[in-house]
Amino acid sequence: MRFLFKHILAGMLAVVAMSSCSHPSKKGVDTSDKPFEPQKLLKYNPKDADKKIDAFMQQLHKKSAFNGNVLVAKKGKILYEGSFGWANHLTRDSLKIDSKFELASVSKTMTGTAIMQLWEEGKIKLDQDVRDFYPNFPYEGVTIRLLLTHRSGMMNYVYFVDGLYRSQHLDQRKGITNQQVMDLIAKYKPAPFNKPNARFLYNNSNYMVLGSIIEKVTGVPYAQYVQEHIFKPAGMTHTAVYSKAVYDKIPVDVVGHDRNSWRYSVAQNFLDGPVGDKGIYSTVGDLYLFDQALKAGRLIKASTQDSAYTAHVTPLIRGHFSYGYGWRIFESKNEKVVYHTGWWHGFRHIFLRDLKNDVTIVLLGNLVNGSLLHLDELFKITGMPIVRKGAYTGTGETADD
């Protein structure tokens, strides 16, 4: 499943740099005296749009065929937001700023946050084995920490389930659930790629299993847990989990288009059933609220976030890129950006959070092409480091310094 850009995938290899994590002495989430007011955070007047960002986005739309929504904020203020192109090319429906997109792997940031909430509450341990929750799980030594950091060695369930359904001519109209995937893995015991903790290997099985563990530990569906413990406290009123195992038709208007062509609209299928690795639908505004809720300590403590934003994979690509607990990490010259990309069924996104300069950039697209590989000028305008392979020399200097 092509969830990350090829230019990043090439460098995300690994030697473990695992760090232990002990439970905090106080359970619960940090609170702030400052009220959290989503409507004020989302306040924006198009007349105040940053002209440089607007010019950049107009060019990205016209020259690089970006089709989607964008939000750029700095130091708690939205500098720019906009919609470009079609929600559904077939019906010529235009995108709106509150259009919901399938977040694809950006969903992993929220699954990771949910896992860290359960850890803070003492309901799980990061070095706890998956077999503690699913005794028939066929792989030994796979822990929650290894799932979080993509070091479990598991095969990618997407390819396994897809191949199984096609070879056995199973019904592909109804979405498959997380539990059904776990049952298939237990029954067929597909060969893993390698031993647990041998190396970093990004794939969706890790976060599908984490989604399953959330359901097992809490006793409620994944959708209900994240609604109550992430979306609601963050004020994310335009965000929901939609699974084909629950909905015959996903109730959103934005259609994904693949292969850099409007001719290839992508219909959801049985693989849109499992959640945790994907399955969250949201808007650029709600992702900004998620960013702000994390910074305000409304979801998990600052110390817990520090663990999530710590590199648990030896950085390669000249030492800049790594992975934490549900976040990709870029570090250079006292800079840190935590982010995630998404790529699934005609959707392609990037969600970036510059922790030092307090910059948030969200681009959600529904036409898969290379437009999101051309963001250098946007990074420069906002003061964010250039998060792109090859943008830096071996000394950490920008290539055009």
Q: What is the pLDDT of residues 201-244, one digit of tens each?
A: 999 999 999 999 999 999 999 999 999 999 999 999 999 999 99
SS3 221: coil
Q: What is the CATH number of the domain that holds 248?
A: 3.40.710.10
The answer to whether position 393 is within a domain reads no
Phi, psi of 49 (to 5 degrees): -55, 135
SS3 9: helix
**Spatial separation of the C-alpha atoms in residues 373 and 369, rounded to whole Å:** 9
The answer to whether position 401 is within a domain reads no
List, as one string, the DSSP characters of 354-376: ETTTTEEEEEEESB-SSGGG--H
For 15, counting Cβ atoms within 10 Å of its Cβ (0-12 exposed, 13-18 middle, 19+ buried), the class is exposed
Question: How confident is the model at residue 311, as a pLDDT?
Answer: 92
Range of the domain at 141: 6-18+32-382
**Spatial separation of the C-alpha atoms in residues 101 and 399, rounded to whole Å:** 34
For 126, counting Cβ atoms within 10 Å of its Cβ (0-12 exposed, 13-18 middle, 19+ buried), the class is buried
- More confident position, 149 or 14: 149
The answer to whether position 389 is within a domain reads no
Total-model pTM: 0.90
Q: What is the pLDDT of residues 10-61, one digit of tens each?
A: 343 333 333 334 444 334 444 445 689 999 999 999 999 999 999 999 999 9
The answer to whether position 398 is within a domain reads no
**Spatial separation of the C-alpha atoms in residues 90 and 52, rounded to whole Å:** 32
Q: Which helix (H) or strand (E) holds 212?
A: helix 205-218
The answer to whether position 216 is within a domain reads yes
Percent of the chain with pLDDT over 70: 88
Domain count of the chain?
1
- DSSP H helices, 274-375, are 284-295, 302-308
From the CB of residue 37, how many other CB atoms can be counted at a distance below 10 Å? 11
**Spatial separation of the C-alpha atoms in residues 328 and 149, rounded to whole Å:** 10
The answer to whether position 85 is within a domain reads yes
Question: How confident is the model at residue 317, as a pLDDT?
Answer: 58
Question: How confident is the model at residue 128, as a pLDDT?
Answer: 98
Question: How confident is the model at residue 12, as a pLDDT?
Answer: 36
Question: How confident is the model at residue 316, as a pLDDT?
Answer: 64
**Spatial separation of the C-alpha atoms in residues 100 and 82, rounded to whole Å:** 14
The answer to whether position 24 is within a domain reads no
**Spatial separation of the C-alpha atoms in residues 231 and 289, rounded to whole Å:** 9
The answer to whether position 400 is within a domain reads no
Question: How confident is the model at residue 314, as a pLDDT?
Answer: 77
Q: What is the pLDDT of residues 329-384, one digit of tens each?
A: 999 888 999 999 999 999 999 999 999 999 999 999 999 999 999 999 999 999 99
Q: What is the pLDDT of residues 270-293, one digit of tens each?
A: 999 999 999 999 999 999 999 999
